[in-house]
Amino acid sequence: MIERDDYLGRVNDALKEFVPTGNDPVSLAMNYSVENGGKRIRPMLVLEFCRVCGKDNEAALPFACALEMIHTYSLIHDDLPCMDDDDMRRGKPSCHVKFGEAYALLAGDALLTLAFETVMKADLSEKQKNDACLYLAKCAGINGMVGGQTLDLMNEGKSVTADELKKTDSLKTLALINAACILGCIAAGADDKMKDAAEKYANGLGLAFQIVDDILDVTGDSAVLGKPVGSDETNDKSTYVSLLGIEESKRTAEKLTNDAKDALNVFGKNGEWLKNLADKLLNREN
């Protein structure tokens, strides 16, 4: 059983096993971006939901790593000049600044495809692996993260409503957090009641996470964040802060966090770690 206090270390070790090494520019770019990891929230959610659903989460590690690969690929592509055009990521030069746009693009593509290969390496049933691949593809594709990024680009320079912004963020940010929680349930063979609770938790946590991101883009310190602040305003993007203001955004994020925590009551005391995580993410500075 993976100890929760060591989720970060175990995920990082597993990623080193799954991501191939090599001296070619694409392999170097892949490893550079994966190793420049953040909080590893999504893979930790996979492991913890597997645990709270009553199963040993060791077998869920490939699912967790696959999701982190997709998250990393999305960050590589987000930073490209054709997208957000960010030169820094987590305090280091973005992948395209370090390796060039072409190799960064290929590194992202390689991580995306490697993710599904990694899912199929899990020591779980064929049905579980197939279900995980299908769910992950849905959350990462045009009906999930890519669809959200598309709406985000279309909304640049336009005035959008709070509902339109919520739809965008529900796809762009929430989809992979939802995938994390559900993949953990799939790995555990969880019942529908547990999956429903996981989805409700993901919805509250994911949207609150995005709102806090919007707040930090205005109030944060670039040295703490590891990336430039003010990029939303520079790109003329509508955010919760621009629509609701700082204080109302904070209240909304707090309500969503409480909704996420309430959804965990089905797990009893087993849900305490996930509740603490929700509070930690609400009050984060990066």
Contacts of 104 (CB under 8 A, 6+ apart): 29, 76, 77, 79, 80, 94, 95, 96, 98
Identify the pLDDT of residue 231.
63
CB 79 within 8 A of CB 32: no
3-state secondary structure of 228: coil
The pLDDT value recorded for residue 6 is: 86
Q: Note the pLDDT of residue 2.
A: 41
**DSSP per-residue string spanning 42-71:** HHHHHHHHHHHTTS-GGGGHHHHHHHHHHH
**CA gap 229, 212 in Å, rounded:** 13
Residue 13: its pLDDT value, please? Answer: 95
The per-residue pLDDT string of the chain (286 residues; one tens digit each, 9 = 90 and over) reads 344 568 999 999 999 999 999 999 999 999 999 998 788 999 999 999 999 999 999 999 999 999 999 999 999 999 999 998 889 888 899 999 999 999 999 999 999 999 999 999 999 999 999 999 999 999 999 999 999 999 988 988 888 898 999 999 999 999 999 999 999 999 999 999 999 999 999 999 999 999 999 999 888 666 655 556 666 665 567 889 989 999 999 999 999 999 999 999 999 999 999 999 999 999 998 8
Contact criterion met (CB below 8 Å) for 76 and 96: yes
pLDDT in the model for residue 91: 84
Decide: 207 and 170 in contact? Cβ < 8 Å. Answer: yes
Which tokens sit at 239?
Answer: 């955010």
Q: Which two tokens stand for residue 36?
A: 């420049």
CA distance 105 to 117: 19
Cα–Cα distance measured from residue 218 to residue 200, given in angstroms and rounded to the nearest whole number: 28
Long-range contact set of residues 254-257: C-beta below 8 Å, sequence gap at least 24: 254/208, 254/282, 256/204, 256/205, 256/207, 256/208, 256/211, 257/204, 257/205, 257/208, 257/281, 257/282
